[in-house]
């Protein structure tokens, strides 16, 4: 028994000793952690295990010198502020000692299994003025990097489907006070980085989903979806949403089309591109510049109808090319609106040229309107109204059939004149037509086949005022009969006569005044025949007319009326012209 008791007593001592040792160790560890931070303890996110308050203070102080704050903002701008930039320091105030006391060293085994985070307040010290100065130097506030925010708005120019809303732009215009607070808050707790979020920037006030903005855009597109192109030769005029918006009255979100502005637009393009009745400068057959004034040829826009149709096209949202409504058209746009196929009529030369694709393909002498009876052919640029075969030209006191009728100015036109035997020269002054261009039949036929309806006829030159007339004796070489013919005096001269011949003729006329006619002469002599001289020449003296012909013509008709002239002569009429009216043109 005593031996068993002895063994039990020994075991008890051993256990007590072990327990005492363990207790001493446990208490020793507890005592140790009274001045050191426990397992898994973090002070301001710095591992403080086995560190004293002084050591963690040193650690924090050492780390503070390496501290940097990375700042990220809009525009991919990144800036860094270091502790040295702002003279960052620590304010101790026993904060780490107080943090150490916050842990329970007697419960140190519990710290083995859980993390403990201790935080000290206001441990950093810096001058706010220094921080603000540094912040002002950051690239976020550089002038070249500041982009002011813009509100959403309706596009200035229209797109394919009209106007659209341009979304708001947040820009990158930082708000200084908020940025300073954001950065200082990060420095206060030694954050490694901070992002300047939306609250740090100025924001737009109107966004793309704004109801009023949407209403305005939709109302604009009531008219502005149209895209209409006018083509004037090489020039184009586009009427798209951008242009149409200029014609709209906008009151808040309400939009209306100002039709008066559309009318003014049509008037403006008509003023720019209409050529009706304008003066034209052409290069004549001889290569000289010739001015052709007046006429009714050219582009002539029907402004009223075009305005109405354009308004309808706008409201309908039409897209594509549009041809204006015209009263009259021309062959081309531009200075040479008459194109390369036209008729050039030189009244001075009494000759015309027919051009096709820029080349002369036919030409002819002609007889134009009688100058001394004030039936001159109207000058200007005209278009061939139509072509007609076997027409009957009717005047006040005549009716004359022609084979080829090509009017270009009301009832004035080109046609064959089978009753005439000669064309060209100066015959038109005394023996001209009622205004039409009389052509040889074979030439009229060829011209009729070449020209087309609408092609231009350019008429220029010629004598426009009556000229003095003199009488000349002409001997018929076949019969020896002396006849009296009338000749025009142009610029003091009789065409085809030399000064000596004219003087001699005047002397003869004076000596025979009031004397009876000599044997073999006839008082009832007739004037010159229609056998007119070639272009620019007078008929040779002594050339007799066909027996019995007269130059008596039918009276002119009303202005611009078709006036085929009486050019054939009545047999047996006297030189005085008192016979019957000849047949019409």
Q: Name the residue among 29, 64, 65 with its Cα closest to residue 50.
A: 29
Q: Is 328 helix (H, G, I), strand (E, B) or coil?
A: strand
Which uninterrupted H or E stretch holds 235?
strand 235-239
Q: What percent of the chain has pLDDT over 70?
A: 83
pLDDT value at residue 121: 64
pLDDT at residue number 565? 38
Would you call 221 helix, strand, or coil by DSSP? helix
Residues of each domain in the chain carrying CATH 3.10.20.800: 212-328
Measured distance CA(291)–CA(382) in Å, rounded: 14
For 108, the token pair is: 């140190």
pLDDT in tens, 204-227: 999 999 999 999 999 999 999 999
Identify which has the larger pLDDT, 187 or 5. 187
What local confidence, expressed as pLDDT, does residue 204 receive?
96
CB-based contact 447:424 (threshold 8 Å): no
Please tell me the least confidently modeled range out of 162-176, 299-313, 422-436, 565-579.
565-579
Range ranked top by mean pLDDT from 54-58, 477-481, 570-574: 477-481
Rounded Cα distance between 236 and 230, Å, is 6
Tokens read off for 560: 């611009």
pLDDT exceeds cutoff 80 at 7: no
What does the pLDDT read at residue 556?
Answer: 33
What does each C-alpha distance from 44 to 63, 188, 389, 506 come to in angstroms? 12, 11, 114, 138
- Number of Cβ atoms within 10 Å of the Cβ of 148: 10
Q: HSE on the CB side for 522, CA within 13 Å?
A: 20
Q: Distance between CA atoms of 63 and 68, rounded to whole angstroms? A: 10
What's the pLDDT at 290?
96
Of 80-84, 279-283, 448-452, 523-527, the one with minimum mean pLDDT is: 523-527
Q: Which long-range contacts (CB under 8 A, 24 or more apart) does 230-234 make?
A: 230/269, 230/321, 230/322, 230/323, 230/324, 231/321, 231/323, 232/269, 232/273, 232/333, 233/332, 233/333, 233/334, 234/333, 234/334
Average pLDDT of 238-251?
Answer: 95
pLDDT confidence bin for 500, thresholds 50/70/90: low
CB neighbours (10 Å) of residue 268? 11
Most confident stretch, 54-58, 282-286, 310-314: 310-314
- The chain-wide mean pLDDT, for the chain, equals 82
**H-type helices in 66-127, by residue range?**
95-101
Q: Per-residue pLDDT for 52 more than 50?
A: yes
DSSP-derived pairing of the beta strands 235-239 and 41-43: unpaired
3-state SS class at 43: strand
pLDDT greater than 80 at residue 537: no
Examine the pLDDT at 564 and tell me if it is beyond 50: no
Best mean pLDDT range from 19-28, 71-80, 515-524:
71-80
pLDDT, average across residues 525-551: 32
pLDDT for the residue numbered 498: 64
Name the more confident of 555 and 215. 215
pLDDT at 533 over 60: no
Q: SS3 string of 480-509?
A: CCEEEEEEECECCECCCCCHHHHHHHHHHH
Report how far residue 475's alpha carbon sits from residue 113's, in angstroms, rounded to the nearest whole number.
Answer: 152
pLDDT at 536 over 70: no
What's residue 86's pLDDT? 92
Residue 578 — pLDDT band, cuts 50, 70, 90?
very low
**Nearest partner of 318 among 216, 225, 405, judged by Cα:** 225
Give the residue-averaged pLDDT of 236-263. Answer: 95
Q: Which residue has the higher pLDDT, 464 or 566?
A: 464
Q: What is the mean pLDDT of residues 42-53?
A: 78
pLDDT digits (tens, 9 = 90+) for 107-116: 778 787 888 7
Q: pLDDT confidence of 164, banded at 50, 70, 90? A: very high
301 Cβ neighbours under 8 A, 6+ residues apart: 266, 269, 270, 273, 274, 324, 325, 326, 327
pLDDT at 551 over 70: no
Query: For the domain with range 212-328, which CATH number is right: 3.40.800.10, 3.10.20.800, 2.160.10.10, 3.40.50.720?
Result: 3.10.20.800
Residue 146 has pLDDT above 90, yes or no: yes
- Predicted pLDDT of residue 314: 96
* Residues 329-387: tens digit of each pLDDT: 999 999 999 999 999 999 999 999 999 999 999 999 999 999 999 999 999 999 999 99
Q: Which residues does residue 118 pair with via DSSP β-bridges, in sequence order?
A: 43
3-state DSSP of 390-444: EEEEECCCCEEEEEEEEEEECCEEEEECCCCCCCCCCHHHHHCECCCEEECHHHH
Residue 55 confidence (pLDDT): 80
pLDDT of 72 above 50: yes
- On the question of pLDDT at 195 being above 90, the answer is yes
pLDDT of residue 107: 75
Q: What is the mean pLDDT of residues 513-526?
A: 34
Task: Please determine, for residue 527, whether its predicted confidence score (pLDDT) is greater than 50.
Answer: no
Query: How is residue 69 written in tokens?
Result: 């704050």
Predicted confidence band at 9 (pLDDT cuts at 50, 70, 90)?
A: confident
């Amino acid at each position: 028994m005593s031996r068993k008791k002895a063994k039990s007593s020994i075991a008890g001592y051993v256990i007590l000793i072990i327990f005492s040792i363990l207790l001493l160790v446990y208490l020793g560890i507890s005592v140790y952690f009274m001045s050191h931070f426990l397992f898994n303890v973090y002070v301001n996110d710095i591992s403080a295990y086995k560190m004293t308050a002084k050591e963690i203070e040193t650690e924090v102080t050492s780390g503070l010198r390496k501290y940097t704050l990375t700042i990220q903002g809009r525009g991919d701008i990144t800036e860094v502020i270091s502790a040295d930039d702002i003279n960052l320091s620590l304010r101790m105030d026993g904060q780490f000692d107080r943090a150490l006391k916050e842990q329970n060293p007697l419960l140190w085994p519990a710290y083995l299994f859980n993390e403990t985070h201790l935080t000290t307040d206001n441990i950093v010290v810096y001058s706010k003025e220094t921080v603000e100065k540094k912040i002002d130097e950051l690239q976020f506030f550089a002038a070249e990097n500041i982009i002011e925010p813009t509100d959403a708005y309706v596009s200035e120019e229209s797109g394919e489907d009209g106007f659209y809303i341009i979304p708001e732009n947040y820009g990158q215009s930082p708000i200084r006070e908020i940025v300073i607070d954001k950065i200082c808050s990060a420095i206060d707790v030694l954050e490694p980085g901070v992002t300047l979020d939306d609250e740090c920037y100025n924001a737009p006030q109107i966004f793309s989903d704004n109801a009023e903005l949407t209403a305005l855009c939709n109302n604009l597109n009531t008219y502005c979806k149209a895209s209409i192109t006018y083509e004037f030769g090489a020039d184009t005029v586009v009427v798209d949403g951008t242009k149409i918006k200029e014609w709209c009255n906008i009151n808040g979100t309400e939009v209306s089309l100002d039709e008066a502005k559309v009318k003014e637009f049509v008037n403006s393009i008509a003023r720019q591109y209409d050529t009706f009745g304008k003066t034209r400068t052409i290069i004549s057959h001889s290569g000289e510049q010739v001015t052709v004034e007046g006429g009714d040829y050219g582009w002539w826009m029907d402004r009223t109808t075009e305005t109405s149709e354009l308004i309808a096209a706008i409201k309908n949202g039409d897209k594509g090319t549009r041809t204006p409504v015209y009263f009259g058209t021309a062959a081309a746009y531009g200075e040479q609106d008459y194109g390369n196929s036209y008729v050039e009529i030189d009244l001075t030369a009494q000759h015309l040229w027919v051009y096709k694709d820029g080349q002369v393909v036919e030409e002819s002498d002609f007889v134009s309107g009688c100058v001394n009876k004030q039936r001159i052919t109207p000058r200007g640029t005209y278009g061939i109204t139509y072509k007609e075969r076997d027409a009957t030209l009717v005047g006040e006191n005549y009716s004359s059939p022609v084979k080829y009728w090509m009017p270009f100015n009301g009832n004035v036109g080109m046609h064959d004149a089978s009753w005439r035997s000669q064309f060209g020269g100066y015959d038109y002054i005394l023996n001209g037509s009622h205004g039409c261009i009389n052509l040889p039949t074979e030439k009229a036929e060829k011209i009729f086949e070449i020209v087309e309806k609408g092609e231009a006829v350019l008429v220029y030159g010629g004598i426009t005022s009556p000229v003095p007339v003199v009488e000349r004796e002409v001997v018929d070489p076949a019969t020896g009969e002396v006849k009296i013919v009338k000749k025009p005096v142009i610029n003091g001269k009789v065409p085809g006569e030399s000064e000596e011949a004219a003087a001699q003729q005047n002397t003869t006329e004076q000596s025979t005044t009031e004397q009876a006619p000599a044997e073999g002469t006839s008082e009832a002599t007739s004037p010159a025949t229609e056998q007119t001289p070639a272009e620019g020449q007078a008929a040779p003296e002594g050339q007799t007319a066909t027996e019995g012909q007269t130059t008596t013509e039918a009276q002119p008709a009303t202005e611009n009326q078709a006036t085929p002239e009486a050019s054939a002569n009545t047999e047996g009429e006297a030189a005085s012209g008192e016979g019957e009216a000849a047949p019409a043109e």
